[in-house]
Amino acid sequence: MIPLSHRDTECSRHQADSVQKVECMSPEITDTPPITANTKALLDLYRQMLTIREFEEKAQDLYSRALIPGLLHSSVGQEAAAVGVCAALRPDDYVASTHRGHGHCIAKGADLGKMFAELFGKAEGYCRGKGGSMHIANPDVGNLGANAIVGGNISIVTGAALSAKMRGTDQVAVSFFGDGALNQGIVLESMNMAAIWRLPVIFVCENNQYGEYTPMEQVTAGEVIQRGKALGISSAAFDGMDVLEVYRATRESVERARRGEGPSFLVFSTYRYYGHGMSDRDRPYRTREEEKEWRQSRDPLDRFAAHLMDNGQMTSSEKDRLHKEIGELIHQAVEFGMEAAYPDPDEVSKHVYSD
């Protein structure tokens, strides 16, 4: 197995009138320390985003060569949302994901080898090859699983938050969902329950501008954050292509939840560079010019790399070293997944129903 370190230390940016204030804290403390100017911590954020980007690109390549069965949905372009949110969480905090969930799984601490094994349908995968791309779960680090049903994880996460409150822990639960889930009834029902019971849950909408093949504004009326505000939930929208902005917003919501102040609704504007799924190649619902604009001016990796280099926290040689290191990890993880055994046919009826 090829383990991916969840994070060595955490870092955050605090802004006051455009002046950055930084402070350092030990990574051994119980709670997640705030992001600082600690170069190692900041480089780890870049490393996490780069790992997700390289994983997704390799997965698409393998799928195109018919080496990955089933379906596959890439999150290339949305790395900052996954990394920024999960960087604000502890390993015992909960997350649940979507059909486009590889990035969330990796950012929450998944092993790359087991990830690829699951995509290949192998027994060494997180769900012993039975879940595939859209159903990866990793309870050891609080990942309650990806869910192929649009909006399907929202009530699950709300239930996890209720469990944390009833057990008297200060755990927080995060639900990732796309703009395509905004009009599902379960969103309103779960938000309403979370608000009434002041549950420690954060509803994270990754607005990648399109619900499958339809522009968001054609199917979703009004200002999205008003849906949370109407229920008395702390709600705000942010740049989902800026990992530090995502982290700052999430950390504030996490701190509110741990203090018992109830749920938050965060909307991160982001963009998926590729189609809805691997069969969506031509993308007739949007232009190549639009895609080029997002890639060239707002790419989360390029922007953060420029930020680090401008502040003397990463050099070109260090950047090259990270790319080489991640490339080797991905190669080893793919080899592990390919060499792993398929599950025994007798397992087809196991782990389906409780005895």
Task: Report whether 202 contacts 277 (CB < 8 A).
Answer: no
User: CA 218, CA 59: separation in Å to the nearest integer?
Assistant: 31
pLDDT value at residue 3? 34
Which listed CATH number (3.40.190.10, 1.10.3720.10, 3.30.460.80, 3.40.50.970) goes with 14-325?
3.40.50.970
**pLDDT mean by block of 10 residues, the chain; 355 residues:** 33 30 29 66 94 98 96 96 97 97 97 97 95 94 94 97 97 97 95 98 97 93 95 98 96 97 98 94 94 96 96 94 97 98 90 73
User: CA 82, CA 78: separation in Å to the nearest integer?
Assistant: 7
Rounded alpha-carbon distances, angstroms, from residue 126 to 106, 138, 196, 237: 12, 7, 35, 33
Closest residue by Cα to residue 210 from 264, 274, 153, 151: 274
pLDDT value at residue 355? 61
Rounded alpha-carbon distances, angstroms, from residue 161 to 201, 327, 354: 6, 37, 24
pLDDT value at residue 60? 97
Cβ neighbours for 53, distance < 8 A, ≥ 6 positions apart: 76, 79, 301
Closest residue by Cα to residue 137 from 95, 178, 87, 177: 95
pLDDT value at residue 31? 57
Task: Report whether 54 contacts 326 (CB < 8 A).
Answer: yes
- The structure tokens listed for 76 are 């290339």
CA 211, 215, 218 angle in degrees (round to 5)? 105
Instruction: Determine if residue 50 is left, alpha or beta; phi over 0 gives left, psi from -120 to 50 gives alpha, anything else beta.
Output: alpha
Cβ neighbours for 331, distance < 8 A, ≥ 6 positions apart: none
- The structure tokens listed for 279 are 């069969």
Q: How many CA atoms lie within 13 A of 222 on its CB side?
A: 9
Q: Which strand (E) or helix (H) includes residue 118?
A: helix 112-120
Task: Report whether 265 contacts 233 (CB < 8 A).
Answer: yes
At 286 the three-state DSSP class reads: coil
- Which amino acid is residue 237, in one-letter code? A
pLDDT value at residue 347? 87
Give the gyration radius of the chain's Cα atoms: 19
pLDDT value at residue 36? 58
